[in-house]
Structure 1
Amino acid sequence: MPLSEQEQRLLEEMERSLYHNDADFVASVGVSRLRPNYRSIAVGVLLAVLGIVALIAGVALQLLWLGIVGFVVMFTGVLLALSPGKSMKGMKGMPSSGSSGRGPAQGRTDQGFMNRLNERWDRRQDGQ
């Protein structure tokens, strides 16, 4: 079912507001393509397997310290395997949104729902 004209205008207004107020967020979500780091995944899986083996050995031999060490090694391996990869494009060239992009919409007396939420978020971030 196609959108009505009012819904299309509202959607376009929300998109403009998002691009205007949250340029950093749009740039980071739209451009960030992560390449998996296969070396860290392989090392993480290996550490997780070794940790599980040490954990099971600690339980079987009733050695508490070996079970704890195995759990820590397993947990570290999982964190290493799930760590984010390298970004294909650097974020240094991305434009940053300054304070000029934030604030009430000019020329409008009734603000939209998203504008009110954005203002509340900005005030919360500024500590007001």
Structure 2
Amino acid sequence: MPLSEYEQRVLEQMERALTSDDPRLANTLQSTGRGNALRYVLSGAGVVVGLLLLVVGAATSRTWLGAIGFVLMFAGVVFAFLGPRKKQQEGPVGVVGEDGTVQTPHGARKPPKRQGGGRSGGFLARLEERWENRRNEGGR
């Protein structure tokens, strides 16, 4: 059952609000995983061919062949674990990096960082605060 015009409009407003509030999350949700399958197939083929070269090099006492096989295996694993590079997008204030943060151009004023405790500090700030409290209380 298709969405009504009102529901589509509300959904678009929610998408715009999400993009403006948390561009990193919105970027993650919009990305598709179609390129990942080809990436894993290519890296798997590289690892298999590298392993075969390594075994053949060891069996025939040709160390250079084994070294090439090892390098090929390593390159296949690195290729599988490194994500594809994303192009930077122009944002309203500056350039949106691949992690979703906005980098302001030179000369533009950066917004002040939020200071203070509570929930606004984030997980790591709360963790550091708890650690300092334990140190100050005598290791408890």
TM-score, normalised on structure 2? Answer: 0.46
Q: Greater relative contact order (Cα 8 A, min sep 6): structure 1 or 2?
A: 1
TM-score, normalised on structure 1? Answer: 0.50
